[in-house]
A and B are shown apart, each in its own frame.
Chain A
Amino acid sequence: MRQRRLLVQVGVAALLIGLLALLVNNLAVNLIRTGLGLGFGWLGRPAGFALAETALPYAPSDSYLWALTIGWLNSLKVIAAGLVLATGLGVAAGAARSSNNRLLRSLAAGYVALIRQVPLLLQLLFWYFVAFLGLPSVPIGGLIRLSNQGIQLLGLNLSVEFCAVLVGLTVFTGASIAEIVRGGINAVPRGQWEAFRSLGLGEGLGLRRIVLPQALPAILPALTSQYLNLAKNSTLAIAVGYADLYAVSDTTITQTGRAIEGFLLLLLSFLLLNLLISGGMAAFNRAVLGRLNRSR
């Protein structure tokens, strides 16, 4: 029996390797035929294109590798901000579904129902071309200034492209997070609600201190996958002119023709990001469950 199992495993492995070998063979033949080689030396060549937003100093004479790094930093910027804002919006909207105020409940429900049924790309295009580019030049107080060229917020200069991607991602992901939070809150026994209400605790305090912490274990796994979705969806930034990693890769591949190497670099970057987010959430999960177990 064990021998047969081993044989089957070897057989399957051989087939997979065989298939892989054939695909690689085709690839090699095609690469030779079309003159595209494989190698990463081109990363050192000067990029020759400018970037609109750079977290660190960048000039077109810098290398492709540096350009890709700048794109990577831009991605991280919008993803980090997006995660924070989307969580805030999602928790607020999800909690609003259990509110006593009927208007708030319906607004939250309407928000979720509308946003989740329209593609993110379309929403991004709307936010950028309709909302942000249509902004009049308005100073609000001394610290905030809006215009369709950029937004100044408390000393920070934010480009329109960044804002549009951020708002689009936040609103879209926030709707999914709201559903998750709603599910988590619903999983908390009704008794808990009645208990803190009968003790005279206000809605907001009761939600924050009693209900949400108990809803967390149910929310966290699904929340992690939404965070990962947000990180991946940030690549749609190319459609509105934000120079994120994918956009810079796109320009690089167009100029150099190095599609395969570019794909590998992109893959590696997103695997790394994936690990960071999943790892962070796993640690948070452990910490939260630890505290809950200790308090029981």
Chain B
Amino acid sequence: MNRWLDRGITLLLLALLGWAGWSILHWLLVGADWSVVTTNLPLYAVGSFPADQRWRPLLWMAALITLTLLTLTGPKRGWVRRWLPLVWIAMAPLGLWLLAGGLGLLPVGTRSWGGLTLTLLLTGGSGALALPLGILLALGRRSELPVLRWSSAAYIELMRAVPLIAVLFFGQLLIPLFLPPGLEINRVLRAVVAFALFAAAYIAEDVRGGLQAIPPTQREAAAVLGLSPRQVLQLVVLPQALRVALPSLTNQAVGLLQNTSLMAILGLVELLGISRSLLANPAFIGRYLEVYLWLAAVYWLACSAMALLARHLEVQLDPARSAS
């Protein structure tokens, strides 16, 4: 009886899937009007970057894609493997130089940055700021000094209780109020700072979990060997803790990429935001289904790539643990 029910459900599901798949395929190829995507590809990619300078962000993104493919396909030569992490780290200043200009390139202000380029930059910038801050907070929370412990714990618990959109919104509004009059920082920077402050709290908890997983015997052994407390932390404890926390940390990174879409609510023209601007163009009113599907595909690709890279990193750093 059970087996017939099972088969029946399977057949019904298959039928539904088939019908849904066919209608979707038909609409995708025949019914949809993809001009809103094809005409505006440069905007999705680089926002309102000056047209003659578009090669700069496009070059950066091409480099990122090539690097991703190279990393994932696993280079065989030893020297390539050794250089790869350095090249990855170098992408950050390279990206900043290509986008911001200066030193031989025409300077381009941050308001002209947009689209996928801005999304990637927000993710990278906030992540780079949040990681050290999170590690500091985690160490602070485990400190023996009550003042440090309480203030770190208070910050972490507060930040984890508040929704991200509130932090972003009030970051845009309130950061200028905390700065001396005359000092303005642009909206992109404010967004990066707000994201970093938020993500640092979550990273702190992940790192703290990693720190807790290190048996105290490690610290005792290192101390016996004559290492100073700072050296113990730097050389023995932190690397192991970060390795343990790596899966959660990479989860945070993917989450950060997805959360950059929230800036669209606040008017920043990253990938989702620029689509909203596009939809105001009289030529494209009402084409939101095509746009949203296109965006979903782009985000899915980007996040999946990040997740694959993360998995690759985990395997590289800790083959024994990741094999389980």
Contact = CB atoms under 8 A, between A and B. Distances in A.
Q: Do A's and B's CB atoms come within 8 Å in the complex? A: yes
Interface of A: 5, 8-9, 12-13, 16, 23, 26-27, 29-31, 33-34, 100-101, 103-104, 107, 114, 116-122, 125-126, 129-130, 202, 228, 232-236, 238-239, 246, 250, 259-260, 263, 266-267, 270-271, 274
B177 A101 contact: no
B46 to A, nearest CB: 20
A26 B147 contact: no
B166 interface: yes
Interface in B1-29: 2, 6, 9-10, 13-14
Contact of B174 (A13, A117, A228, A263): A263
Contacts of A116: 303
Contacts of A233: 163
B307 A117 contact: yes
A256 to B, nearest CB: 13
A118 B296 contact: yes
B163 A26 contact: no
Contacts of A9: 145-148
Contact of B162 (A34, A118, A232): A232
A26 B304 contact: no
Given A232-B164, A233-B163, A27 B178 contact: yes
Interface in B142-189: 144-148, 151, 158, 160-166, 169-170, 173-174, 176-181
A274 B13 contact: no
B269 to A, nearest CB: 15
Interface string B285-319: 00011001001100110011001000000000000
23 contacts: A16-B151, A30-B179, A31-B177, A101-B9, A101-B10, A116-B303, A117-B300, A117-B303, A118-B299, A118-B303, A119-B299, A120-B258, A121-B265, A122-B295, A202-B2, A232-B164, A234-B163, A238-B265, A259-B170, A263-B174, A266-B162, A270-B161, A270-B163
A246 B181 contact: no
A271 B161 contact: yes
A33 to B, nearest CB: 6
B165 A33 contact: no
A27 B181 CA distance: 10
Nearest to B179: A26
B264 A121 contact: yes
Interface string B203-225: 00000000000000000000000
B174 A259 contact: yes
Interface residues of B, number: 48
Nearest to B292: A126
Contacts of B13: 103-104, 107
A13 B147 contact: yes
Contacts of A16: 147, 151
B272 interface: yes
Contacts of B176: 30
B174 A5 contact: no
A239 B163 CA distance: 14
Contact of A246 (B148, B166, B272): B166
Given A9-B147, A259-B173, A122 B163 contact: no
B302 to A, nearest CB: 8
A27 B303 contact: no
A103 B261 contact: no
B262 interface: yes
B166 A266 contact: yes
A117 B148 CA distance: 37
**Shortest 4 CB-CB contacts between residues of A and residues of B:** A117-B303, A232-B163, A119-B258, A119-B261
Given A26-B179, A250-B169, A271-B161, 13 more contacts: A23-B178, A30-B178, A101-B9, A117-B304, A118-B303, A120-B258, A122-B272, A122-B292, A122-B295, A228-B161, A232-B164, A260-B174, A263-B166
